[in-house]
Structure 1
Amino acid sequence: MKPSNTIRLLLVDDHKLLLDGLKEAIEQEKDLEMVAQADNGRKALAQVKQFKPDVVVMDISMPELNGIEATRQIIKQFPQQKILTLSMHADKHYVMGMLKAGVAGYVLKTNAFEELAFAVRQVASGNFYVSPEITGIVVNSALEQEGAPLSMQENELSSREIEVLQLLAEGKSNEDMAETLTISKRTIEIHRQNLRKKLGLNTIAELTKYAIKNGIISL
């Protein structure tokens, strides 16, 4: 039985083998407990509402709703929620995107089994943690006082438009998107028109390229 001061975790990743491995590792830690898991950002938001975890461990590249946008939506609804990124991406684009979205830490998957437990405890205690390999990115960006990599999206696109853009780039039809987002096909078409107008991109290929370039989806 876990002690009363156990840190309750929600793990969000679409790679089942990694999730299984992390779950097994967490079970070895007396003060950590995985209370739920999700394989995309949309499910993560629902799990946060249901389980109210102490820390959410969030991947970035996931279907339907990526980790950056999921983090934005979670923090918007639950400002006190602590989120720790666990990602394979070590480049500035993703690191600063997640930090700007509101995460309290960033761990590389290459270091997952060595660093994750320590990072979770740091974040749960109200501290900030990043893997040593990406510390330079964070420091340099702070010194340069740069905005988030997704600043164009934040300034021009609504959260719903970003969701539609991701689903569109993943090859979903209007009907599929309407069902996923629980809105009408007419509303989907309006969002698509707004995307084309705001971004100046007219084809699905152009929109998909934009989504890849800005980290909304990954290859």
Structure 2
Amino acid sequence: MPIRVLLADDHQIVLEGVQALLERADDLEVVACAHDGEEAVRLAIECSPDVAILDVDMPGMTGIEATEAILRERPQTKVLALSMHGDQNRLSGMLKAGAAGYLLKNCAAKELVKAIHAVVTGESYLCGSMATMLVHDYREHMLNGHAEHSRSVTEREREIIGLIADGLATKQVAAALGISVKTVDAHRRNILEKLGIESVAQLTKYAVRAGLSRLEA
């Protein structure tokens, strides 16, 4: 059964181009196209997409506002941001609203398809430049002393906690920090054991309380 995709962008040429790219994939079906945030919310309710790909800067209801509205009505839909802009405010806004990923419009078609497959299976996805920016911003946040450090958690573990809480998947954390996936998994097991928690959701709550998540700073 194909993955059902909703597209939303206020530029018709972008809609047509992305739709043409996605329809080359055998397991993807574009079920609706919206030209603004309000239409995206309405079509998400009517068409029940698995994934909604939203422009962030649409007139009227923004992509951030549309994401919040869609997820209130259809929490099972995964939202991907597709934007021309790669700044912290837009990234933070979309992730706080509940988006599962963020890509720039200059990404390759195969990366967009990869992101769709990732989020539909419950993973998060950030394109390379956005992941790099998030890591840099997080490190600046740490150096400025805004985080409350736990004595039992190492600096590397604090980095990993923050990145996981900010939405990076294991492979993206590994790539961002220049370590292996196995090392990230080992660190995560140690972190959960040290902190006495059992899930990523609890780890995220800890990160927010401890000031380790840039998105909630």
Aligned to 2:88: 92
Establish whether residue 117 from structure 1 lines up as the match of residue 101 from structure 2: no
RMSD across aligned positions (CA): 1.7
Matches of 1:147 and 1:57, distance apart in 2:
21
Number of residue pairs the alignment of both structures matches: 145
Establish whether residue 146 from structure 1 lines up as the match of residue 206 from structure 2: no
Q: Out of 24, 31, 35, which is 1:35 matched to? A: 31
Aligned to 2:172: none
Alpha-carbon contact 1:107-1:131 (below 8 Å) kept = yes
Q: Out of 1, 10, 21, which is 1:25 matched to? A: 21
Establish whether residue 14 from structure 1 lines up as the match of residue 15 from structure 2: no
Alpha-carbon contact 1:86-1:106 (below 8 Å) kept = yes
Q: Which has the higher contact order (CA 8 A, sep 6+)?
A: 1
With normalisation by structure 1, the TM-score equals 0.62
Q: Describe the superposition over 1:119-150 as per-residue Cα deviations: whole angstroms up to 9, x where unpaired.
A: 1111111111110111023334446523459x
Q: Describe the superposition over 1:61-99 as per-residue Cα deviations: whole angstroms up to 9, x where unpaired.
A: 111100001111111222222101111111101011101
Deviation, structure 1 residue 116:
0.8
Matches of 1:145 and 1:133, distance apart in 2:
19
Alpha-carbon contact 1:96-1:138 (below 8 Å) kept = no
Alpha-carbon contact 2:118-2:125 (below 8 Å) kept = yes
Could you tell me which amino acid in structure 1 is paired with residue 62 of structure 2? N
Matches of 2:23 and 2:45, distance apart in 1:
23
SS at match of 1:135: helix
Establish whether residue 47 from structure 1 lines up as the match of residue 43 from structure 2: yes
Q: Out of 68, 72, 78, which is 1:76 matched to? A: 72
Matches of 1:96 and 1:137, distance apart in 2:
11
Aligned to 2:199: none
Q: Which of 77-86 and 7-16 deviates more?
A: 77-86
Alpha-carbon contact 2:50-2:76 (below 8 Å) kept = no
Q: Which of 74-83 and 10-19 deviates more?
A: 74-83
Alpha-carbon contact 1:7-1:33 (below 8 Å) kept = yes
Aligned to 2:101: 105
Establish whether residue 59 from structure 1 lines up as the match of residue 55 from structure 2: yes
Could you tell me which amino acid in structure 2 is paired with residue 121 of structure 1? H
Q: Out of 121, 128, 132, which is 1:132 matched to? A: 128
Could you tell me which amino acid in structure 1 is paired with residue 29 of structure 2? E
Deviation, structure 1 residue 23:
1.1
Q: Describe the superposition over 1:172-211 as per-residue Cα deviations: whole angstroms up to 9, x where unpaired.
A: xxxxxxxxxxxxxxxxxxxxxxxxxxxxxxxxxxxxxxxx
Could you tell me which amino acid in structure 2 is paired with residue 25 of structure 1? L
Alignment identity in percent?
41
Could you tell me which amino acid in structure 2 is paired with residue 145 of structure 1? S
Deviation, structure 1 residue 112:
4.7
Q: Note the residue ranges of structure 1 that are not aligned, 5 or more in a row.
A: 150-219
SS at match of 2:57: coil
Alpha-carbon contact 1:10-1:48 (below 8 Å) kept = yes
SS at match of 1:84: strand
